[in-house]
Structure 1
Amino acid sequence: MPSSTDLVHAVSADLEKIREAAPLVLSLTNSVVQPLTANLLLAAGAVPAMLNDAEEAVEMLRGGTDALLVNLGTVTREQGTVMQTAVQEANRLGIPWVLDPVAVGALSLRTRLAEQLKERRPRIIRGNASEIMALAGYSSVTKGPESTSSSADALQAARELALHTGAAVLVTGRTDYSTDGRQVIATENGHAMMSRVTGVGCSMGALAAACAAVSPSPLQAAVSTAVLMGIAGAMAFEQSPVPGSFAVSLLDSLYTLSPEEIARRARILPL
């Protein structure tokens, strides 16, 4: 397992690669979070694209897309068909894709869709504890899209889900856990204010897609996502400790994030 120091260096390398390569991320995401998701990708150095048509999704994927995000936040049956088509084409082309199973386990349509999608080789699955537990087949209780369990409660479920799907699983919470089923890496950055702004978690899924486009492994991409988003969130709170301006400061902090700041702030613990 790589050391904490090696992982910190890899996080900085992933951010630099995003800024250099400007990966195009096709985000099939929910209507509530689209502006923040697009702006966060831009702040990281990636290029966002968003649409809701199956034919256009295939065209976009064939036209140079580097990664795909599938977020179930406001999914409809029609959007589910678009997502299935996009995932099939992404897999055919070898494009990494990220599954964000918002509120899975709480509502039936998205739960059925997520159960199907998890079998189609996502590179990363990102969710809160309740979502990951539900997707792994564990009993979980949710409050809408919010988790009622801690990220540590979902660690065993995350490992099993990773082994079953071949994906790296990123469980977000007060402590974030990234696992490929064998290795587990904890990251302790971020701030509670991140849960007070709609779309921060969903935007994290988009950042995971950008990281997956450039990172040497899904596990490293998951770790980089957690660290970059967490540090940006902590920096944003220092500048703007209230929700409205915090959202803007989050973008500014990610945009200005330096390797020196990452080295100083990153709290990564291989378990």
Structure 2
Amino acid sequence: MSLQKINLQKPLVHCITNYVVANFTANGLLAIGASPVMADAVKEAAEMASKSNALLLNIGTLNEQTIKSMLLAGNSANVKNIPIVFDPVGAGATNFRLETTMEILQQLKINLIRCNVGELAAIAGVTWQAKGVDSGVGELDVAETAMHVANKYNCLVIVTGKQDVITDGIRIEWIVGGHEKVTKMTGSGCLLSALCAAELASCENAFEDLANLLRDYKQASSNAYSTIGTFHMNFLNQLEYLAEGHQ
């Protein structure tokens, strides 16, 4: 199982992420045995990235300082071939977010883009009705568009939703399952992006191991649902349970 691999490797994951999800992301990484560090200061972003095993760039609460920090950290990671996961939160919601998304994709070598269908549409230039940072509504062929983006940026692409899809531009796989309650949990996608970064720091076969991680994540969400008000806690417990090798 992918979470077990992370638990064995215990990678240090540098997260430049948004303040809405920072605590949940850190606790999720700790639950699976990884070590989180949230360092977004311009003066230390590059140094911290160079000392980490993976880097997460998440534009959920975007500002000019974090953009500079992300580019500095990303360039530092690229120099040392440290994997980068990019989460373009709400890429189509404003021009600022879309411009930042394209700047990051053009200036950095990204290993994985983890997004929802609305964010995928924004990156691909497909007309879409964005709804803030939610996926919004529109029409596109998710598989075909994800493959196009993967080929254009020479990276893996994961698009999450009712069904998740992962592609490297050639292969494509659909992942089903999970519980719809996870969509009501703040930061579920952001945490998944962080776990993907931990996976890239720990895996031998990125495509297969990330696909298995998506299965683990859906299993955790299915196992976690019990009563209203306990889902967050149960979800983290289930991630830890799976990372320790339980079924």
TM-score (norm 1): 0.86
Distance 1:102 1:198 in 2: 13
Distance 1:25 1:130 in 2: 26
AA matched with 2:231:
F
1:114-129 matches, within 5 Å, as 114-119=101-106, 120-129=108-117
Distance 1:149 1:185 in 2: 23
Closer/same/farther in 2, CA of residues 186 and 149 from structure 1, 3 Å limit: farther
What residue in structure 1 maps to residue 212 of structure 2? 224
What residue in structure 1 maps to residue 193 of structure 2? 205
Residue 250 in 1 paired to residue 235 in 2?
Answer: yes
The alpha carbon displacement at 1:216 in A equals 2.0
Residue 62 in 1 paired to residue 62 in 2?
Answer: no
The alpha carbon displacement at 1:151 in A equals 10
Bigger shift: residues 53-62 or 119-128: 53-62
Bigger shift: residues 135-144 or 26-35: 135-144
Distance 2:44 2:125 in 1: 33
Per-residue CA distance 1:220-243 (angstroms, 9 max, x = gap):
343133112111111101xx342x
Q: Is the 8 A contact 1:168 1:222 kept in 2?
A: no
Residue 101 in 1 paired to residue 73 in 2?
Answer: no
- For structure 1, the residue ranges without an aligned partner over 5 or more in a row are 1-11, 262-271
Q: Is the 8 A contact 2:58 2:89 kept in 1?
A: yes
The alpha carbon displacement at 1:59 in A equals 1.9
Closer/same/farther in 2, CA of residues 129 and 151 from structure 1, 3 Å limit: farther
1:61-100 matches, within 5 Å, as 61-63=49-51, 65-100=52-87
Distance 1:18 1:211 in 2: 6
- Match of 2:201, SS? helix
Per-residue CA distance 1:25-53 (angstroms, 9 max, x = gap):
00000000011100100111111000221
Distance 1:124 1:199 in 2: 18
Distance 1:149 1:166 in 2: 27
Q: Is the 8 A contact 2:93 2:132 kept in 1?
A: yes
- For structure 2, the residue ranges without an aligned partner over 5 or more in a row are none
- Match of 2:36, SS? strand
Distance 1:152 1:167 in 2: 20
- Match of 1:147, SS? strand
What residue in structure 2 maps to residue 5 of structure 1? none
- Match of 2:115, SS? strand
Closer/same/farther in 2, CA of residues 151 and 171 from structure 1, 3 Å limit: farther
RMSD of the TM alignment (CA)?
A: 1.7
Tell me the number of residue pairs that the alignment of Structure 1 and Structure 2 aligns.
Answer: 245
Following TM superposition, the consecutive aligned residue runs of length 4 or more in structure 1 with deviations greater than 6 angstroms are: none
- Match of 2:44, SS? helix
Distance 1:18 1:139 in 2: 38
TM-score (norm 2): 0.94
- Match of 1:36, SS? helix
The alpha carbon displacement at 1:124 in A equals 0.8
Closer/same/farther in 2, CA of residues 141 and 85 from structure 1, 3 Å limit: same
Per-residue CA distance 1:2-33 (angstroms, 9 max, x = gap):
xxxxxxxxxx1x32221111000000000000
Per-residue CA distance 1:144-189 (angstroms, 9 max, x = gap):
1111348984222111000111111000000000001111111112
Q: Is the 8 A contact 2:127 2:138 kept in 1?
A: no
What residue in structure 2 maps to residue 46 of structure 1? 34
AA matched with 1:155:
A
Closer/same/farther in 2, CA of residues 247 and 151 from structure 1, 3 Å limit: farther
Residue 234 in 1 paired to residue 219 in 2?
Answer: no
Q: Is the 8 A contact 1:27 1:70 kept in 2?
A: yes
- Match of 2:7, SS? helix
Distance 2:50 2:58 in 1: 20
